[in-house]
Structure 1
Amino acid sequence: MTTYLSLAMQAMLLGALTFGVVLIPLIVVQARRFGGLSLTRMAAFGMVAVYAFALLAYTMLPIPDGYGEAWCARYDVRVQPEPFVFVHDLAAAYAAGGAGGLASSFALRQLLLNVVLFVPLGVFGRRLLEWPAAVTILAGIGVSALIELTQGTAAFGLLPCRWRIADADDLIANTVGAAIGVAIAPLVLSWVSRARALEGRRLDPRPVTRARRWLGAVVDAALFAVVFAAVELGARALDAIADTPSFLPETGVGVARWLLPALLVFVVPALSHLGASAGQRLLWLVPRWTDGAGTPMRRLALALLGPALPALAMAAAQLPGLGALGYTAPVWLLGLLVAGLLSRDGLAAALTGARYADSRTAPVLADRPEHHSESRDGAARPH
């Protein structure tokens, strides 16, 4: 029991970390597919992340103590290819100890665990991913077969020997579990919004709130980090190919790692007719002025006075004699954060006279009270 609890805790921790990594892409996908966020579906996908690691942990772990060549020479873990052996094992347990012996037998515990382990797969596949029942059950069979194949081939020959029994009965029990999950999915996940219903709202404009703008900012930050890391890795790869650490000037790399993300995420998108950053576009947000989309100079000024400014300051700080500019970056960034908490549109919008609107309507904003309203709690309206 202690081992099972330990594996469950590991699955919860790793699942939570994985969900944190995929959270930004999930937000983007939901925003584009449904026109907004579904909190119930976000929660369900968090459960999927935990379940995936639980499935991995309970089928592949724990690795035996002392596992290695010596362990393999001592133990012979066989493959069990015969189906329905569990029927004989259950009958033997009942014959030996009656109903009590059957209830406490390892054979029954193993059978039930293998059934229960695949029930969530059937539930998630049928209700969250909305696969047909037959496809979901086939997916359960495929995942189970992959697990048994991995166990039976010692991770496809990557490990010195088998450490878990590859059992045909496990495949049968897993399939039954997936089928049970398909049957109970409408009850278990009745609280999760249906994708088909949400897709019908994709083109419906939604209120612009602080929470929605913050989500756009978080997406921008994630995209910035991706480009930043790509520049850094690309520079190191070129150095490695050239077989000399000084192939690329460190100053040039330092400027590029800040300048390129700022240009690609903030500045270049601002020059388009929408004038929105990459994260804002993904969440259907666009800046608007009283005369409409504004001039290219206004849109550029909005981008430069936003998060692009501290990034450009950090780029300039890499040049000789301009290092002091790096100190202005956190100051301006702090001002953007504070203004973002206190106002709906943020500091850069206030300085340039912009208001953010939903790009599915993108009206010309006049100074009317209704354009300054937001939801009572300031949070994004869930489906």
Structure 2
Amino acid sequence: MSVYINPIANGITVSLMIIYLAFIPVLIYQYRKNGTFLVRKNIVLASFAVYMITAFFMTLLPLPSIEAVKNMAPVRANYHPFLFVKTFLNESGFIWNEMGTWFRAFCSPSFYTVAFNVLLTLPFGVYLRKYFNKGLFQTAVLGFLLSFFYEATQYTGVWWIYPHAFRYPDVDDLIVNTLGTVVGFYAAGLLDKLLPDPMKDKSLKTEYASLLRRLISLLIDSIFVNIVYELLRVVVLLAAGKKENTIDIVLYLISVVIIFILIPCISKKKRTFGMTILKLALRDGKGNVPRLSGMIMHNLFIAFWLNVAVNIIGMIDNAWIIIFLQLAVLGFAAALLIISIKNKRVTYFWEKFFDTYMKADI
């Protein structure tokens, strides 16, 4: 079974890495376009990516070395349709009118290899019908093309990376994989109620800025803070020729002021880079651009609690100051949690104090 388990494990691992790298860009795109994170749609997209990569790996892995393939006799392709039927009847011991032979026959490689090939493309048929709105004929054609890609990859030695084919290209695989896609098409009809429906995702462009959207904005701003900080460190290090924690703290504070104060002050809509990318904006209680002093105090408050206090802790040697900052951060988190529980929703209590509210820039 390792011939199946290892490619599946590798496919899932690679898929999760791709999903991890794509998560933030997809999140930003959906917030900008839809004003919300489309949970069901993303589940479908992620599962489709996992399936496609894993299925491809199952037709390709394990990969031998090029030297091993050079020393290997070329693999001859099978061009005889339905050879798998003859192989099954000859090798499995199956006798249709003797029930005792059925179980042994279904456990033979001549059967489960074909069965796995059907299962390989069955999900593809489900996706095509349920999520890509393809008809039966289109599903069958696309299933055939997918299988043809697999077989062509094998036949060409992974598109001529290898000197010749090292896996067994088989016309029967085209037939069985296409059949699997068609079976998946009909299975989608039976499983329709159980599968997630992206149409139920609400694409609402509202003024409400969710916690996740705010955090992504802060993450982006933090990245810019660190970029500016590292650039300043390089300049100072080249000029002074030495590194000190005190200088690092000052440089970091300057970087925070540049990103959270200077950039919003000189920008037309009074926004940080993160707010611009996530289409967020500060508004006062009347929906207007807030006073400059309110914007500065709001951004300084956020920059300190969610940026400076966390990052500067690692730059300080004094244990008492570290403890104080840690307690301050915990106190802020506790206050946010308690007030939010009391109001039965996430409550950003400082916004009312500064009369600056984070809104989606519709």
Question: Taking structure 1 as the reference length, what is the TM-score of the superposition?
Answer: 0.65
For residues 323-334 of structure 1, what are the structure 2 equivalents within 5 Å? none
Deviations 1:27-80 (A, max 9, x none): 33444454433433333334234323421331111235xx44245314432233
- Alignment partner, residue 81 of structure 2: 83
Note if contact 2:44-2:196 (Cα within 8 Å) is conserved in structure 1: no
Query: Displacement of 1:116 after TM fit?
Result: 0.7
Q: Take 1:77 and 1:267, find their aligned partners in 2: how far apart are those partners?
A: 66
Does residue 220 (structure 1) correspond to residue 220 (structure 2)? The answer is no
Does residue 146 (structure 1) correspond to residue 149 (structure 2)? The answer is yes
Note if contact 1:35-1:204 (Cα within 8 Å) is conserved in structure 2: yes
For residues 311-326 of structure 1, what are the structure 2 equivalents within 5 Å? none
5+ residue gaps in structure 2?
97-101, 239-247, 341-345
Q: Take 2:225 and 2:273, find their aligned partners in 1: how far apart are those partners?
A: 15
Name which of structure 1's ranges 100-109 and 172-181 shifts more when overlaid on structure 2.
Answer: 100-109
The structure with more radius of gyration: 2
Rate the CA distance shift 1:106–1:181 in 2: closer, same or farther, 3 A: same
Question: 1:291 is aligned with what amino acid?
Answer: K
Rate the CA distance shift 1:291–1:141 in 2: closer, same or farther, 3 A: same
Does residue 43 (structure 1) correspond to residue 39 (structure 2)? The answer is no
Q: Take 1:270 and 1:129, find their aligned partners in 2: how far apart are those partners?
A: 46
Rate the CA distance shift 1:197–1:131 in 2: closer, same or farther, 3 A: farther
Note if contact 1:266-1:308 (Cα within 8 Å) is conserved in structure 2: no
- Alignment partner, residue 202 of structure 1: 203
Q: Take 1:7 and 1:261, find their aligned partners in 2: how far apart are those partners?
A: 46
Structure ranking higher in helix proportion = 2
For residues 104-119 of structure 1, what are the structure 2 equivalents within 5 Å? 104-119=107-122
Query: Displacement of 1:157 after TM fit?
Result: 2.0
2:282 corresponds to which of 270, 282, 287: 287
Does residue 306 (structure 1) correspond to residue 307 (structure 2)? The answer is no
2:95 corresponds to which of 93, 98, 101: 98
Note if contact 1:259-1:315 (Cα within 8 Å) is conserved in structure 2: no
Q: Take 1:224 and 1:75, find their aligned partners in 2: how far apart are those partners?
A: 58
Does residue 180 (structure 1) correspond to residue 170 (structure 2)? The answer is no
Note if contact 1:11-1:53 (Cα within 8 Å) is conserved in structure 2: yes
Note if contact 2:11-2:54 (Cα within 8 Å) is conserved in structure 1: yes
Q: Take 2:170 and 2:223, find their aligned partners in 1: how far apart are those partners?
A: 43
Q: Take 1:147 and 1:282, find their aligned partners in 2: how far apart are those partners?
A: 40
Query: Displacement of 1:154 after TM fit?
Result: 1.5
Name which of structure 1's ranges 21-30 and 51-60 shifts more when overlaid on structure 2.
Answer: 21-30
1:355 corresponds to which of 334, 357, 360: 357
Query: Displacement of 1:123 after TM fit?
Result: 1.7
Q: Take 1:179 and 1:336, find their aligned partners in 2: how far apart are those partners?
A: 57
Note if contact 1:15-1:53 (Cα within 8 Å) is conserved in structure 2: yes
Question: 2:75 is aligned with what amino acid?
Answer: V
- Alignment partner, residue 245 of structure 1: none
Q: Take 2:147 and 2:254, find their aligned partners in 1: how far apart are those partners?
A: 48
- What's the RMSD between the two structures over aligned residues? 4.7
Question: 1:151 is aligned with what amino acid?
Answer: Q
Note if contact 2:117-2:177 (Cα within 8 Å) is conserved in structure 1: yes
Rate the CA distance shift 1:52–1:103 in 2: closer, same or farther, 3 A: same
What is the aligned-residue identity percentage? 21
Deviations 1:80-105 (A, max 9, x none): 344333233234346x5424364233
Question: 2:21 is aligned with what amino acid?
Answer: V
Rate the CA distance shift 1:41–1:91 in 2: closer, same or farther, 3 A: same
1:164 corresponds to which of 141, 164, 167: 167
5+ residue gaps in structure 1?
236-247, 317-321, 361-383
Q: Take 1:192 and 1:251, find their aligned partners in 2: how far apart are those partners?
A: 57
Question: Taking structure 2 as the reference length, what is the TM-score of the superposition?
Answer: 0.68
Note if contact 1:141-1:171 (Cα within 8 Å) is conserved in structure 2: yes
Name which of structure 1's ranges 273-282 and 55-64 shifts more when overlaid on structure 2.
Answer: 273-282
Q: Take 1:261 and 1:135, find their aligned partners in 2: how far apart are those partners?
A: 55
SS in 1 for 2:182: helix
Note if contact 1:82-1:169 (Cα within 8 Å) is conserved in structure 2: yes
- Alignment partner, residue 245 of structure 2: none
Q: Take 2:111 and 2:257, find their aligned partners in 1: how far apart are those partners?
A: 60
- Alignment partner, residue 18 of structure 2: 18
